[in-house]
Structure 1
Amino acid sequence: MAYLSLAKIRRRKKRDGASYWLLPLLLVVLFIAILLSLGIGGVSIPPLASAGHFLSYLGLTHSDLQPQEILILEAVRLPRTALGLAIGMALGLSGAVMQSLFRNPLADPGLIGVSSGAALAVVCVIVLGDSLFASFLEATSSYSLPLAAFAGSLATTALVYNLARRQGATDVAVMLLMGIAVNAIVGSFIGLLTYIADDSELRSLTFWSMGSLSGAGEATWPSIGIMLFASLLLLRLSGPLNLFLLGETEAKHLGVATEGIKRQAALAAACATGAAVAAAGMIGFIGLIAPHLARLIGGADNRFVLPAAALIGALLIILADTIARIVVLPAELPIGLVTSFIGGPFFFALLFREFRKRRA
């Protein structure tokens, strides 16, 4: 038995050492997906022509694209691809951090109220905006929904975090339970506001809740900036989160400032996910799928899992957006529906896998 355990440890170390070579491979796959995404749509643009066009700005090649193709590429597809990359990285990283923090393979950023808080704020603005938030709508214009979503996500996360604090310490298990309770309460308010909404408001709520990258542009630049900054903060947590996997008490004995790590993880994940929801609406399952795929191909070391989850999350969003744009041409399918079609079966497979592990 001791020999088998030692052999398993050696195999795991060998696999974890080799897993870092997978990151450049993921980058190459993501780059190919980006080129395909830029070229596929109602107007097809060859991937090499798209790459050549952007290289022409560096004086390396000559662009052969027509003016209409350049307009579509630069004004429509490039902004939504950039937004998709930021959202995928933010959601993938947030999910990986939450799963390590809670030591729960089914955890995602929505468990601490980020998505539900953003949804409640947006529903309030859409349904009650003309009567209660007229000055806010007038002052913020096209930024009203993103600002409301971001503020709602931060407020709900702060509420859950403070409810879980006892005597200066935060219990992650209590925070998880508080998040579930707050999500239920927030969901009831969303249901009430949806009930009193009129037809046009219901239509707006429905399309926002399904998620879309079609609003990419100048209005989403602040959200992209927040997602990138929060993602950098989350990447820095890979080392301490490895020790968290041993247990919070053990991590504290090893010198980890556990309270600071929990606070930074919750705040950064809330900012990243809140900005993603603010920019594109509700996009589910990315924060759940990307970390599991990262662990499946490269092991459990968060120094690999976090950057790999960011790249896989970005790849999944780019692929989902490409599918959403072409499956019902000339219309566009909400990206949230595509990620749900992918994430639902994956979630079932994950549950069955966990059940088999517990029986074994």
Structure 2
Amino acid sequence: MTDPARRRRRSAPVVAAAVLAATLVGSLVLAVTFGPAELTFGEVWASIGGHLGLGESPLSRLRDGIVWELRLPRVLTAACVGAGLAICGAVMQALTRNPLADPYLLGLSSGASLGAVAVLLLGVSVLLPAAAFAGALAALVLTLLLASAMGRITPTRTILAGLAVSSLASAVTSFVIFWSATGDSYREILGWLLGSLSGARWPAVAIAATAVVVVGLPLVAGGRVLDAFAFGDTSAAALGIEVQRTRWIMLGATALLTGALVAVSGSIGFVGLILPHAVRLVFGPGHRALLPLSALVGAVFLVWADTLARTLFDPRELPVGIVTAMVGAPVFAALLLRRRSMA
């Protein structure tokens, strides 16, 4: 490969990241304009600037509240959740060397769902984020305990234990719903189980953004380590990596990030499974480029998926998990077919 070609190949992820970052900023503002109350691009910028101390907002109190209190927190939460789930999916696929791994592989989603359903049925929905996070962590602990009971903890045993815990938590959740849910609580519970950002306000933004910054960014910085895992444990150890310790630190961090995201958004599928594959297909398997690009693609994707969910059948609103599944399933099938044709 000639030097100019090599330089273009190395600069491609940087250019793509810059384009995706600009696309994300534009998407965040543009998505806020969609809804029953029509807003312009300029009005959204004016409202944001007014709240950031960059001048007075010309909007009425009602229209300013629509931007700042309703739509903007929801859009920002969608971006953070999409970025975090994409990071988790890429990390899980690398650590387990399983191309079908996703952020919910270790029973985290089912555990979070059980905790969330419990507080919804008890009528204390204000505790939903805390209960979902606690449920995800409980599922992780139970998965690791079960995996260790089978002998030395390996990725395969951990996945099998996660599937068992996930099935158990899903069964208990279904039983609790069947036995206890009445009236409108069915709709509220179903909406959360399918993934929804309809209740996202600034506290949700704070939870999701903090999780992505505190946990997600260190995972993104671990791209070199994940590249070493791609060649197997023996090769990673030969490169000076403490394989077991590093794997469980990164798995634990992924679980913490997933638990925090599920706590504010419910279970949103396909984001962490498909998007890393799509980015890998374009830019290759190197995780130093894969992780940040997956995060940006995930953020943009979920912003627009949620915008479709809340506007496509206005005034009715779809759970965003339905939209991601309807888009994700055919895209995943197309990726599989393309990979087969390239094999």
What is the rounded CA distance, in whole Å, between the counterparts of 2:27 and 2:341 in structure 1?
Answer: 34
- How far the C-alpha of 1:279 sits from its partner, in A, is 0.6
Secondary structure at the residue paired with 2:310?
helix
Any idea what SS the aligned residue of 2:25 has? helix
User: Corresponding residue for 2:230?
Assistant: 245
Rounded to whole Å, the distance in 2 between the matches of 1:350 and 1:162 is 35
Distance change (3 Å), C-alpha of 1:13 and 1:109: farther
**Which residue identity is paired with 2:265?**
A
2:13, 2:63 → 1: CA distance? 39
CA distance in 2, matches of 1:325, 1:87: 17
1:289 corresponds in structure 2 to 274
Residue of structure 2 equivalent to 1:153:
136
| 1:38 matched to 2:32 | yes
Report how far residue 157 of structure 1 moved.
Answer: 1.4
Conserved 8 A contact 2:117-2:189: yes
Distance in 2 separating the partners of 1:60 and 1:119: 41
Aligned to 1:100: 94
**Whole-angstrom CA distance in 2 between matches of 1:49 and 1:219:** 24
2: distance between equivalents of 1:143 and 1:61? Answer: 34
Counterpart selection for 2:166 from 183, 193, 204: 183
- 2:170 maps to a residue whose letter is G
Identity of aligned residues (%): 36
The match for 2:313 is 328
- TM-score by length of structure 1 reads 0.86
Tell me how far 1:249 sits from its aligned partner: 1.4
Distance (whole Å) between structure 2 residues aligned to residue 306 and residue 202 of structure 1: 37
Return closer, same or farther for 1:350/1:166 CA change in 2, 3 Å cut-off. farther
Conservation of the 8 A alpha-carbon contact between 1:169 and 1:259: no
Letter in 2 for 1:179: G
Q: CA deviation at 1:71?
A: 1.2
Q: Which ranges of structure 2 fall in alignment gaps of 5 or more residues?
A: none
Aligned-CA RMSD value: 2.6
**Paired letter, 1:198:** A
The residue that corresponds to 2:156 in the other structure is 173
Residue from 73, 78, 88 that aligns with 1:84? 78
Aligned residue-pair number:
340
Question: Quick one: which amino acid aligns to residue 316 of structure 1?
Answer: F
Q: CA deviation at 1:326?
A: 1.2
Question: Given the alignment of the two structures, is residue 22 of structure 1 paired with residue 5 of structure 2, yes or no?
Answer: no
Give 3-state SS (helix, strand or coil) of 1:111's partner.
Answer: coil
| Structure 1: runs of 5 or more not aligned | 1-6, 130-136
Amino acid at match of 2:302: I
- 2:48·2:68 contact (CA, 8 Å) conserved in 1? no
- On the 8 A contact 1:88/1:317 being kept in 2, the answer is yes
**Match of residue 298 from structure 1:** 283
Is the aligned partner of 1:109 residue 2:103?
Answer: yes
Mean CA deviation greater in 344-353 or 82-91: 344-353
Task: Measure how far apart 1:289 and its partner are.
Answer: 2.0
Q: How does 1:192-271 map to 2 (within 5 A)?
A: 192-200=175-183, 201-221=185-205, 223-224=207-208, 225-271=210-256
Aligned letter for 2:296? L
Q: TM-score, normalised by structure 2?
A: 0.90
Q: How far 1:261 moved relative to its partner?
A: 1.8
Offset at residue 282 of structure 1 (A): 1.4
Structure 2 residue matching 1:328: 3-state secondary structure: coil
